[in-house]
Amino acid sequence: MGLFKKTKVNIDPDRLPNHVGIIMDGNGRWAQKRGLPRYAGHVAGAKVFKTIAYYARDIGIKNLTVYAFSTENWQRPQEEVSRIMKVLEEFIDDALNTFEKEKVRIRFLGDTSVFTGVLREKMDRIVAVTDHFPGLTLNIAMNYGGQHEIVHGVQKAMALAQKGELQPDELTPDAFGKMLYFDDCDAVDLIIRPSGELRLSNFLLWQSAYAEFWFSDILWPDFKPAHLDQAILEYQKRNRRFGGV
Ligand code: FPP
């Protein structure tokens, strides 16, 4: 474990959560509190996202999924949606310039078929050039909804069944888990939600069956590596029983 950055608090490097999920909430309120337009909160939130992603890698987290844009977020004003897409594009441009140094495997979780043109090309490119990195896998949930993901899995299973390639009793939870957007998306161990909201909001519904939660009133643009440390420390104090005793 000497390879990884030491945290300020006493985190046990051998009992890190394998998969951390973060709902990056509170950007709009952060901006409004400062008399700024909402998109300024997303710009600030994007900086924090980058800091936290690379910090997660440095301390040895293997899988991080961040909720960047949900299937419901299209209902926001067009201007705000465009700004979030711009923030995403800027993150990818930066990652395309630095991926050899940063060594993070980047993927997009969700129905990405809606993204076209230059943004889509950049998404595909960053996925392709970072695919071989073995350290942190960073899943950026874009146009993601947990219910959509499950329905997508059911559709896949039904198509296989129609072709006679899947029998009902072969559809176990493990088999179904491989029909979701990624066939290798591990169960999420720890879900972090800042901004004071205490809900899951359609995030990783299937993967969160036994997730531990860490909630905080901090708004996402104020989130620091020390908050991730705190969440992990708290996680390591939990007694996870997975339905056993
Ligand atoms: C929720 O806060 C946040 C979002 C819908 C967008 C999240 C985007 C970022 C953190 C920027 C990084 C994103 C990418 C694509 C790399 P909110 O706007 O709902 O905040 P509020 O509840 O205070 O209004």
91 assigned to some structural domain: yes
140 assigned to some structural domain: yes
Average pLDDT value for residue range 3-26:
92
202 assigned to some structural domain: yes
198 assigned to some structural domain: yes
pLDDT band at 9 (very low <50, low <70, confident <90, very high): confident
The Cα-based distances of 40 to 33, 91, 202 in angstroms read 11, 15, 25
Amino acid at 12: D
Domain extent at residue 230 = 15-146+187-237
pLDDT band at 29 (very low <50, low <70, confident <90, very high): very high
Q: Does the active-site annotation cover 239?
A: no
Q: Does the active-site annotation cover 25?
A: yes
In this structure, which residue's CA is closest to atom 6 in ligand 1? Answer: 68
Show Cβ contacts of residue 174 under 8 Å, excluding neighbours closer than 6 positions.
none
The answer, yes or no, to whether residue 2 has pLDDT greater than 80, is no
Amino acid at 179: M
116 assigned to some structural domain: yes
Closest-CA residue to 182 (of 73, 23, 19): 19
167 assigned to some structural domain: no
Q: Which of 25, 63, 139, 189 is catalytic?
A: 25
The answer, yes or no, to whether residue 55 has pLDDT greater than 70, is yes
91 lines ligand 1 (CB under 6 A): yes
How far, in Å, is the centroid of ligand 1 from the Cα of 165?
41
**Tokens at residue 165, please?**
């390639």
64 assigned to some structural domain: yes
The answer, yes or no, to whether residue 60 has pLDDT greater than 60, is yes
Nearest-angstrom CA–CA distance, 96 and 42: 20
The answer, yes or no, to whether residue 50 has pLDDT greater than 60, is yes
Total count of domains within the chain = 1
